[in-house]
Amino acid sequence: MLTRILRRVLAAAVLTTATLAVTASSAYADHVYCPPSGPCIVIVDTPGSPGGGGTGGGTGGGTSQECGDTLFAGCLKPGLGYYNPADGCFWARAEPQPPASDPIWQGHTDGAVYVAACGWPGLTGFTNFWRATPPPGFGGLPNPAVLAAQAINQLGIRGPDIGIAPTPGGSGLVGLPVWMWTAVSPQTWGPIEATAAVPGLAVTARAKAARIVWEMGDATTDKPEGRVTCTTPGTPYKTSYGYKASPDCGYDTGYGDPSSIRSSGRFTVTATTTWHVDWWVVGGGATGELTVTRESGADILIEDLQVVTR
Amino acid sequence: MTPHPRLGLLAAMATFMLLAATACSHGEPSTPPGSPAASNAAPSPSTDSRVQQESAKVLAAYSGYNEAYVAAAATANFDDKALPRYVADPLLAELRFALRQQSEQGIVYQGKPTWAAKITKINVAERPFSATISNCFDNGSWTPIYKSTRKPVPAPTQAKRYVVTSTAKFYDNGRWLISEAKADRSRPC
């Protein structure tokens, strides 16, 4: 008897996993928004409320969306209960709970007895089971976008680990090439992955840096700021390179003015990494993509060439 | 919910079969005195009267369940409030699902089945208290029809009189509730 139920459950699980991949993405219009600093949030974009509003990305509260023509984890089928793709059953709390002496409890005094309706859509075994904890998806699952925001927040991606020649501790000269780079690590250039999960639903986010925009901090009333876009992490400068320009990421013309034109005496270089982030429900389902920016800064000292040549 | 086309037929058939499996009639007497009510308990005058008392309650619950279900099936009322007074999960979930399917298919039941139920086993000596009910069920005059057309729902040829075995349990709310029902269509009666 038990074997028969299990077999039915397994067969149903195989079926439903396959359909989930095709369909679940349409169930959610919400998307993740990651501000340049601070945690990512979910923008709720439901048909009823155009424009939507932000909700905290950290809560992961359950939803109980009704199952449509196709089933997804944690969906509610009225009269049957919450769907668990892992076993292909709908689960509801048994009403009433059997008496404590009933063998269904197997001697346990904790947990609860649930009635499982298995084998959808080929009707169907209705069977009581004792469980220590509710089945995955019971009571509904968080919106995948909420878990995606959590996963992205866990990535720990950040702006460049700024390398620059001349070094922030030393000084450079007007008109000489400047080299910019980031130390490459999963957090500064990627790729990097993180997964956020609740029982019954897991979302993985994967981030890869696409580019770094270097703003050189030298704008004046006469001249816009030097701005260099690099699609590589850049090449760390070595003294053996002399006055050569960076092969892939440099401010090759160098600064036109000494940093003494700033009251601080230094130019502030701002480097902004644009991250491309993909997320997906593990095992198939909703997916999404977004860009996230993270920035870092460094101050450098540039001295006037004429001081040296005089 | 839009029913799957194939599911629709399945559901209709399943609804029919489930109803056939579980429904019973009005009017038939419940267990007559001296019916074959068995007990695990040692036979003594006081246990005998206890068994008789509880057997009557079990049959009353069984009767209540069948009457409630026949009434609910007549209107495809899946939210019937009487059922939970006589039925527990998993049977309750199964009946409600059948009624819901019936409602989605626009099927109602006309007429009434008849039944003759007896208790074949009862345990009121040791918890959990439980009883087994054997019922000769006859759905010859109980027909699923489409509500809109009043035409009978097509169904495969099948037995009309057969044995249905049910389980009753005594719950913490102080009531006997029917928690399972299985039809054996290969056992005419």
Average the pLDDT over B65-77 and give the result: 96
Helix-helix angle B91-105:B5-22, to 10 degrees: 130
Contact between B134 and B118 (Cβ < 8 Å): yes
DSSP state of A96: S
Contact between A155 and A205 (Cβ < 8 Å): yes
pLDDT (tens digit per residue) in A126-135: 999 999 999 9
Residue matched to tokens 């668990």: A84
Average confidence score pLDDT of chain B? 81
Across the interface, of B14, B94, B170, the residue whose CB is closest to A99 is B170
Decide: helix, strand or coil at residue A103: helix
pLDDT for res A124: 61
Contact between A84 and A118 (Cβ < 8 Å): no
Cβ density class A63-93: b for 16+ within 10 Å, e for less: eeeebeeebbbbbbbebbbbbbbbbbbbbbe
Contact between B129 and B42 (Cβ < 8 Å): no
pLDDT for res A105: 97
- On whether any CB of chain B is under 8 Å from the CB of A78, the answer is yes
DSSP H helices in chain A: 2-23, 144-155, 305-309
Residue B159 has pLDDT above 70, yes or no: yes
pLDDT for res A76: 92
Q: Rounded to an integer, what is the distance from CA A225 to the centroid of its chain?
A: 32
DSSP sequence for B11-33: HHHHHHHHHHHH---SSS--SPT
DSSP state of A151: H
Q: What is the CA radius of gyration of chain B?
A: 17
- On whether any CB of chain B is under 8 Å from the CB of A123, the answer is yes
Decide: helix, strand or coil at residue A249: coil
Cβ density class A97-131: b for 16+ within 10 Å, e for less: bbbeebebbeeeeeeebbbbbbbbeebbbbbbbbb
pLDDT for res B126: 93
Strand partners, B123: B130
- On whether any CB of chain B is under 8 Å from the CB of A77, the answer is yes
Structure tokens at B161: 């009189």
Comparing C-alpha atoms, which of A262, A238, A2 is closest to residue A127? A2
How far apart CA A71 and CA B45 sit, in angstroms, is 57
Q: Cβ separation of A121 and B4 shorter than 8 Å?
A: yes
- On whether any CB of chain B is under 8 Å from the CB of A107, the answer is no
Q: Cβ separation of B93 and A101 shorter than 8 Å?
A: no
How far apart CA B70 and CA B78 sit, in angstroms, is 12
Comparing C-alpha atoms, which of A149, A168, A193, A184 is closest to residue A259? A168
Contact between B149 and B175 (Cβ < 8 Å): no
Structure tokens at B134: 């054997």
Amino acid (1-letter code) at residue A73: A
Strand partners, A115: A92, A128
DSSP state of A166: S
Q: Cβ separation of A92 and B173 shorter than 8 Å?
A: no
Amino acid (1-letter code) at residue A176: L
DSSP H helices in chain B: 5-22, 45-75, 91-105
pLDDT for res A310: 45
Chain B residues whose C-beta is within 8 A of a chain A C-beta are 1-2, 4, 7, 10-11, 14, 78, 84, 88-94, 96-97, 100, 127-128, 169-173, 177, 179
pLDDT for res B30: 42
Q: Taking CA atoms, what residue in B is nearest to A116?
A: B90
> How far apart, in Å, are the Cα atoms of A97 and each of B95, B125, B162, B177?
17, 21, 31, 12
Q: Cβ separation of B89 and A115 shorter than 8 Å?
A: yes
pLDDT for res B10: 38
Average the pLDDT over B161-186 and give the result: 94
Structure tokens at A292: 């996230």
Interface test with B, best of A124, A127, A130, A131 (most B CBs within 10 A): A124
Q: Cβ separation of B128 and A122 shorter than 8 Å?
A: no
Comparing C-alpha atoms, which of A124, A233, A75, A237 is closest to residue A172? A237
Residue B79 has pLDDT above 70, yes or no: yes
How far apart CA B169 and CA B122 sit, in angstroms, is 10
Q: Cβ separation of A95 and B92 shorter than 8 Å?
A: yes
How far apart CA B163 and CA B135 sit, in angstroms, is 6
Across the interface, of B11, B97, B173, the residue whose CB is closest to A96 is B173
Across the interface, of A69, A98, A126, the residue whose CB is closest to B94 is A126
pLDDT (tens digit per residue) in B26-68: 333 444 444 444 444 455 667 789 999 999 999 999 999 999 9
Comparing C-alpha atoms, which of A254, A166, A180 is closest to residue A218? A254
Q: Cβ separation of B94 and A100 shorter than 8 Å?
A: no
pLDDT for res B39: 45
Q: Cβ separation of A128 and B78 shorter than 8 Å?
A: no
List of chain A residues with pLDDT < 50: 1-28, 47-61, 309-310
pLDDT for res B43: 54
Contact between A77 and A83 (Cβ < 8 Å): yes
